[in-house]
Amino acid sequence: MGQDDNGHAPGRSFLDRLGHVLWGAPEDRDALRETLREAHERGLIGSDALDMIEGVFQVAEMRVRDIMVPRAQMDVIDREELPESYLPRVIETGHSRFPVIDGDKDKVVGILLAKDLLRYFHGEQRASFNVYDLLRPAVFVPESKRLDVLLRDFRSSRNHMAIVVDEYGGVAGLVTIEDVLEQIVGDIEDEHDLDADDVMIMQRAEHEFVAKALTPIKEFNEYFGTHYDDEEVDTIGGLVMTTLGRVPKRGERLEIGGLQLEVLRADSRRVHLLKVVPIAEESEVAG
């Protein structure tokens, strides 16, 4: 029996081939991807569905080290700190969970939920407030753990955060269930993100800004007084990827034209959100 121009047996419909791949336990994952993309081209599945399916594949292939928040970027609370010293930090970052340490990031003693701090504002309980009483147990996972396994563990244990350790037992970073899910469904925006369609850049602190990666370079230049070239790329996210020659991971930083750009959100395909800090201002603050 001959074959058509695509190498398939004549008379065999696309749906037959799709069914064979999906229910015939294909050995080649690339073949499954190719068939699903063909289904998308034929209008059988939407772009969102295809992106999510490919995201599932990526989760099965990725490790915790690929998406974790690096140790240096972890926002933590020292158990000896008074609430007055860290409450402004809790409010500024907008995180729902914080690792609590005992003087060093290698000594994580528990996880504090931001909502539990509401008790501190209860007048009768403020005098007897003790952060030790509020800590949840910390979960530790190795850098090499597969993301699909981690997601299953998150679901079964109902934990939303895990501390990542290296082969020597030192803390390498942290990972949340949101980090894993974003690999499947894309960026998960919350109330602390730039959620308005017409707002591309927002000032978050005196010397700190947040910019969507889709911000046109022309608009970025006008806002910051920079002179980035927009001949090869149109957006600031595209400029970051072009400069690095790859898709960066969250937490990566680079300096371009007097600004430090840090990747706040990214998946394996694109950058979503950037933190922008003027280098001169950063030096003054540090000094």
Give the alpha-carbon dihedral of 179, 256, 212, 219, to 10 degrees.
-170
pTM: 0.56
Distance CA 273, CA 27 (A): 37
Domains of the chain (ranges; CATH) run: 14-62 (no CATH), 66-185 (3.10.580.10), 201-286 (3.30.465.10)
Q: What is the pLDDT of residues 147-185, one digit of tens each?
A: 989 999 998 988 899 999 998 899 999 999 988 887 777
All residues at 6 or more sequence positions from 240 whose CB lies less than 8 Å from its CB, including other chains: 213, 248, 254, 256, 261, 263, 271, 274
> Which pLDDT score, from 0 to 100, does residue 10 have?
45
Which one has a higher pLDDT value, 146 or 264?
146
Phi, psi of 38 (to 5 degrees): -65, -35
Q: With helix as H, strand as E and coil as C, how does the chain read? A: CCCCCCCCCCCCCHHHHHHHHHHCCCCCHHHHHHHHHHHHHCCCCCHHHHHHHHHHHHHHHCEHHHCCEEHHHCCCEECCCCHHHHHHHHHHHCCCEEEEECCCCCCEEEEEEHHHHHHHHCHHHHCCCCHHHHCECCCEEECCCEHHHHHHHHHHHCCCEEEEECCCCCEEEEEEHHHHHHHHHCCCCCCCCCCCCCCCEEEEECCEEEEECCCEHHHHHHHHCCCCCCCCCCEHHHHHHHHHCCCCCCCCEEEECCEEEEEEEECCCCEEEEEEEEHHHHHHHHC
- pLDDT at 13 > cutoff 70: no
Q: What is the pLDDT of residues 55-107, one digit of tens each?
A: 777 777 788 988 888 888 899 999 888 888 888 888 877 788 999 999 999 99
